[in-house]
Amino acid sequence: MMKMRLRKIMASVCLVASVIALAGGIGINTQAAGGDRVYSPSTSVNATSLDTKEPYKTITNEDRDTAYILLIQHMNGLKALYDLNSDTVKRLDAVMYQANVYIANTNMTVGELSSYISKVEADMDASLGGASVVSETSSFLFLINPTPTNTISYGSSAPITLTFANFGKEGVTDVVVTPKVSTKGEEWPFVITNASDVQLIKSIPKASSVEEATTLGQSLTWNFTVSDKAYTGTYPLTFHVQYYRNGTKEETDLTTYVNIKGKASNGSLEQNTSDKDKNKPSTPRIIVTGFVTEPEKVHAGDTFALTITVQNTAQTTVSNIQFDLKAAQESSDADSKTTYEAFLPTSGSATIYVSSIAPGATTDLNIEMTARNDLTQKPYVITIDAAYEDPDKNPFTATTNVSIPVYQEARVDTGDAEVMPAAIGLYEQSNICFDIYNKGKTTLNNVSISFEDGYVTGGNCFLGKIEPGGTGAVDCTVEGAMPNDDTSTVTATISYEDEAGNVTTIEKEINLYVYEMEYSEEDLGDDFYMEEDTKPKKKGMPLWLIGAIVGGAAGAVVAIIKLVKAKKAKKLRMLRELERDDEDNL
């Protein structure tokens, strides 16, 4: 019953795709302990049932593919459904490892292979003991600046600062953070001075962008002194976090690492265990010390090179290391049940094999990936699962994450401009209207419009924020300032900021003719005299303007009224200039 229920649940959460990605591209001739092969399927595996094949036929490599994937699927389903401690995970991995070696090196019939698969699945179920089902929770809090692994020496004190960022869609409140301390030198390297080192963050609000989440992050600092019981080595420091989201209490553990230099007589962390566990081998740890992307900023739709640096913190060599990278699962919309991976490897395989890493040494994992072009702007998590062995061939596993911010290019377009009237004289006004469209997936902030070409003045307006898929309407009034006979256009400058705060400007050409009328002596009156060679000649209006006036009586009346006003203003300006010239000649 448990097996049937497990398979139904695994099918519902679409584990088959992740299993194929996990298993792909490893090869077929990896050697296990004692010279045996460890079988790994090819990238073209089709994990179908063996029930449709003749039971008396000898198995092929394709049948081994199917068996391996069915067992991996079953094992990963158990890990996802049950709350397993480290010892249980080791037992489960050991069952899988032995089955892997047996299938790779044994000739049998299809019927025998089917029976063996059932036996191994039963052994996996039995290895769980009394493990309980995991409750479904979502992780909202992350450490955005985990404490660097700087070395703190015995007898010294150092601050441990953690900054908690909320990348969820809801704010969290009453965040209680408690370090998981221990009196054992191999578990907690610091002096215990307080009954409880609990600290409280009142609230961490939700954010609309990566930068805002980082800015709104809340920091807590503990001052710890290295204990005389501490060993030399890298300690994981685990902090238990309890918080409330939408009135419901949730909990999670966040871990950082610190290098400790203890008393020389104490020895290393890896070589020492507690009295209870002194006969057990220490767990070699592989941690992620950093990562880089090329290009540095990853935009949606980009193909980028990802380099992850990992370190073997143990005092012994780890070998036969398999790294499986899995990107966060996203859905196409809030109501969709269909999910996809945010990043896909360009080679088709997200598995990287490393033969060995020496004690304290680092190695780089390189992979080329493509970000889906419909991703929203936010960080996306890549989970790194590592499976490896110590010198005694004891199997170990480790899981860690890296978070890669993805950016969206802003896409802005504008509609046709409506200009009324389409021609104005100096100091006359015209109304300009047009739309600004946000065609991208990032919000446009502080959208503003200005006219800075000198042909017109005024027209500045502020639209503020335009959401993805939204429209901003520009409605402004400009005044003629300088004739533009050469272009008959004015330029609107549109400025906006993306979610990262980067300012972008674009220009829009608008058809608006600004002209200056010239007048005869009769228009200026008896008080205005000019030399013959400098006397202005009456300049007619453009033919297209005359046509526009003839085309509508109402427009003609408006134009005549404005023309009269312009003549009067021109006459007054010229008279004032003449008076100033006379005063200067006296």
> What CATH number does the domain containing 261 carry?
2.60.40.10
Distance between CA atoms of residues 73 and 80, nearest Å: 10
Answer with the one of 133, 148, 180 that is the final residue of a domain: 133
The answer, yes or no, to whether residue 579 has pLDDT greater than 70, is no
**Residue 248: its pLDDT value, please?**
82
427 shares a domain with 483: yes
Q: Are residues 6 and 129 in the same domain?
A: yes
Q: What percent of the chain has pLDDT over 70?
A: 72
pLDDT in tens, 41-92: 433 344 445 777 888 888 888 888 888 878 887 787 677 566 778 888 888 8
Q: What is the pLDDT of residue 410?
A: 82
Pair (362, 288) in one structural domain: yes
Give the helix ranges, DSSP H, for 342-496.
none
Residues 458 and 412 sit within 8 Å (Cβ to Cβ): no
Last residue of some domain: 116, 133, 150?
A: 133
Cα–Cα distance, 427 to 479 (Å, whole number)? 6
The tokens describing 424, both together, are: 């104005």
Any idea which of 13-17, 314-318, 530-534 has the lowest mean pLDDT? 13-17
Do residue 13 and residue 95 come from a single domain?
yes
| Choice between 480 and 134, residue whose per-residue pLDDT is larger | 480
What is the reported pLDDT for 568? 52
Secondary structure (DSSP) of 417-438: PEEESSEEETT-EEEEEEEEEE
- Which residue has better confidence, 239 or 274? 239
Residue 478 has pLDDT above 70, yes or no: yes
End-to-end CA distance of the chain: 115
Number of structural domains (the chain) is: 5
Residues 255 and 191 both lie in one domain: yes
pLDDT digits (tens, 9 = 90+) for 371-421: 988 888 888 889 999 999 988 888 899 888 888 888 888 889 999 999 999
Q: Strand pairing partners for 369?
A: 304, 345
Q: Is the pLDDT of residue 468 over 50?
A: yes
- What pLDDT, on a 0 to 100 scale, did the predictor assign at position 256? 81
Place 17 in a pLDDT band, splitting at 50, 70 and 90: very low
pTM over 0.75: no
Query: Is the same domain home to 115 and 177?
Result: no
Angle 312-318-322 from CA coordinates, rounded to 5°: 95
Query: Tens of pLDDT along 347-357?
Result: 878 899 999 99
User: What percent of the chain is predicted at pLDDT more than 90?
Assistant: 22
Rounded average pLDDT over 419-441: 91
Is residue 6 over pLDDT 70?
no
- 387 and 293 inside one domain: yes
Query: Looking at the structure, do residues 144 and 114 belong to the same domain, yes or no?
Result: no
Pairing of strands 248-261, 429-438: unpaired
Is the pLDDT at 134 greater than 50, yes or no? no
Q: Are 484 and 490 in contact (CB under 8 A)?
A: yes
Residues in the chain: 586
Lowest mean pLDDT: which of 203-217, 347-361, 399-413, 510-524?
510-524
Structural tokens at position 518: 């010239």
Q: What is the pLDDT of residue 570?
A: 55
pLDDT at residue 135 above 50?
no
Q: What is the mean pLDDT of residues 433-441?
A: 90
User: What mean pLDDT is reported for the chain?
Assistant: 76
pLDDT of 19 higher than 60: no
- Copy the structure tokens of residue 495: 């400025």
| For range 26-48, the mean pLDDT | 39
Q: Which residue has the higher pLDDT, 250 or 493?
A: 493
**pLDDT score recorded for residue 11:** 35
| Kind plus residue range of the DSSP H or E element containing 10 | helix 2-12
Q: Which residues of 323-356 are buried (b: 16+ CB within 10 A; e: fewer)?
A: bbbbbbebeeeeeeeeeebbbbbeeebbbbebee
Residue numbers of the domain that contains 401: 283-407
Q: Give the range among 181-190, 236-245, 345-354, 534-543 with minimum mean pLDDT.
A: 534-543
In the prediction, which pLDDT does 433 show?
A: 95
pLDDT band, residue 529 (cuts 50/70/90): very low
For the cut 70, the answer to whether the pLDDT of residue 222 exceeds it is yes
Higher pLDDT, 261 or 141: 261
Q: Which residue has the tokens 């209207």?
A: 433
Please give the Cα distance from 476 to 466 (Å, whole number). Answer: 18
In 328-459 the beta strands, taken as DSSP E runs, fall at: 329-331, 339-341, 343-345, 351-357, 362-371, 378-389, 395-407, 412-414, 418-420, 423-425, 429-438, 444-451, 456-458
Pair of tokens at residue 100? 């892997």
Q: Are residues 179 and 268 in the same domain?
A: yes
DSSP string, 547-570: HHHHH-HHHHHHHHHHHHHHHHHH
User: In terms of Cα–Cα distance, which of 519, 516, 290 is closest to 400?
Assistant: 290
**Is the model's pLDDT at 573 over the cut of 60?**
no
**What is residue 276's predicted lDDT score, i.e. its pLDDT?**
45
Contact indicator for 159, 145 with CB cutoff of 8 Å: no
Give the highest mean pLDDT range of 47-56, 260-269, 474-483.
Answer: 474-483
Single-letter residue type at 306: L
What single-letter DSSP state applies at residue 280?
A: S
Closest CA to 456 of 476, 434, 436, 435: 476
pLDDT at 474 over 80: yes
Bridge partners of 395?
389
Looking at 348, 373, 407, the residue that finishes a domain is 407
Residues 510 and 543 in one domain: no
Whether 229 and 151 share a structural domain:
yes
For the ranges 96-110, 127-141, 260-274, 461-475, which has the lowest average pLDDT? 127-141
Two tokens at 264? 């020389």
Q: Do residues 400 and 419 share a domain?
A: no
Tokens of 473: 């309407």
Question: Which has the higher per-residue pLDDT, 494 or 136?
Answer: 494
Q: What is the pLDDT of residue 475?
A: 94
Which position has the higher pLDDT, 525 or 53? 53
pLDDT surpasses 60 at 582: no
pLDDT at 306: 93
